[in-house]
Amino acid sequence: MKKILGWCAGLPIALSVSGSAVALLAENLDTLEEAFNKYATDFEARATNLGDEPDPDGSRLSDGIHLSLEYSQKEFSNWKERKAVDIKHSINDLYASLCVMTKQLWIPVSVLGRMWNLDEMSAYDVADLFCRMSLAKLSYRKIGNGESKKAGLSLHDLHLEFCQQQAKSKKLQSFWHSTLLHGYEESQSDLCSDLCGLSPLDLVELSPRPWWSDTCPDDGYIHAHLARHLSLSGRVSELAALLLDARWIKVRGKLGGLLGLQEDYDIVDKLLERGERIEENVSVKPKRGSYRLSGRLLGKLGRLLGRQRHIADQALERGERIGGNVSLKPKRVSFRLILKAIQLSWGRF
């Protein structure tokens, strides 16, 4: 036990991970001492940085998490056989999939079920296993207007860093973001299958995917984080089109307010600053990206309000003020302008 305490170097998260692993081992061994000895032996065989000194690079914590997942795999396999669950991913894969989260984020278990292709009860079982191994925290919150509380996961920052490193090492970060979105898109498959008889013009009007429709109702998560997942899955063109669609602006604005919309536009703004391509055959130069996207959105909002687009364009070129403290510089348009336009037109969607 003293060895294990020394390896943890007083780090609470390391102590909890090691303690939970020992507790799992003790369930299948005769004494607690045997469990401690086995854990110490296995840890020594895996770890490359042993000692009582601090763990500045987090290598020992990473080794401890790997060992906990290794112990969990047997229980996970038994659970799959007992529940007759058909899932190809290992427990390591499922834990690495939590790379889609951000710091301080609470994600509903139902959302994880979509990403893991499991029903909500099965997803809860996996989440509970992570919790019992001190690899995540399981808690309950109310979502939207629902009266009952829903289960969800949150991660310590060091746990999240581990998940992101694992996904990055296997080049699976984009994959997991795409997989999560696919879990929602399956619910839209019936709607999308009806599009085959529409004209090309009608298909253009229906682009991007109808994330605002009844096939994708607000579940307390996806609408608030859709822009981030689209961006990190490489679907930049769809994200740009979404943020130019009045139907999405209406849904996102009502649920997240102006702050939520600002966060989404900031994501695109950062992509444009890097010179990302936002639509087929169109490369947006870094210094003009914000101006171009702002102008396009203002044009759509202008038509929605019954105004002509050139009025907004002329105002931009003159660097006019549209009220409040929002100043428009000709070549550097703040996204506050977009929010101001949305605010002015709020009741007309």
The SS3 of residue 284 is coil
Say which residue the tokens 């907004």 belong to: 312
The pLDDT of residue 54 is 56
- Which are the contacts of 204, defined by CB distance < 8 A and separation ≥ 6? none
Q: Is the peptide bond before 208 cis (omega within 30 degrees of 0)?
A: yes
- Parts of the chain belonging to CATH 1.10.10.10: 2-169
The pLDDT of residue 12 is 85
pLDDT confidence tier of residue 78, bands split at 50, 70 and 90:
very high
Distance CA 123, CA 117 (A): 9
Q: What percent of the chain has pLDDT over 90?
A: 35
Residues 193 and 124: beta-carbon distance below 8 Å: no
User: pLDDT at residue 151 above 90?
Assistant: yes
- Is 1.10.10.10 the CATH number for 2-169? yes
Most confident of 52-66, 200-214, 225-239, 260-274: 225-239
pLDDT confidence tier of residue 339, bands split at 50, 70 and 90:
low
Distance CA 336, CA 330 (A): 14
| Least-confidence region, from 15-19, 170-174, 300-304, 330-334 | 330-334
| Least-confidence region, from 134-143, 160-169, 178-187 | 178-187
User: pLDDT at residue 348 above 60?
Assistant: no
pLDDT confidence tier of residue 331, bands split at 50, 70 and 90:
very low
User: pLDDT at residue 62 above 80?
Assistant: yes
User: pLDDT at residue 327 above 80?
Assistant: no
pLDDT confidence tier of residue 15, bands split at 50, 70 and 90:
confident
pLDDT confidence tier of residue 29, bands split at 50, 70 and 90:
confident
User: pLDDT at residue 199 above 80?
Assistant: no
Alpha-helical segments (H) within the chain: 2-8, 12-26, 32-46, 59-83, 91-96, 109-116, 120-132, 157-169, 173-185, 189-193, 200-205, 222-232, 236-242, 246-273, 289-304, 309-318, 336-344
Looking at per-residue pLDDT, the higher value among 312 and 14 belongs to 14
User: pLDDT at residue 101 above 70?
Assistant: yes
The SS3 of residue 195 is helix
| pTM listed for this prediction | 0.75
The pLDDT of residue 340 is 54
User: pLDDT at residue 244 above 70?
Assistant: yes
The chain-wide mean pLDDT, for the chain, equals 75
Determine the residue type at 165. Q
- The predicted model gives 59-88 an average pLDDT of 90
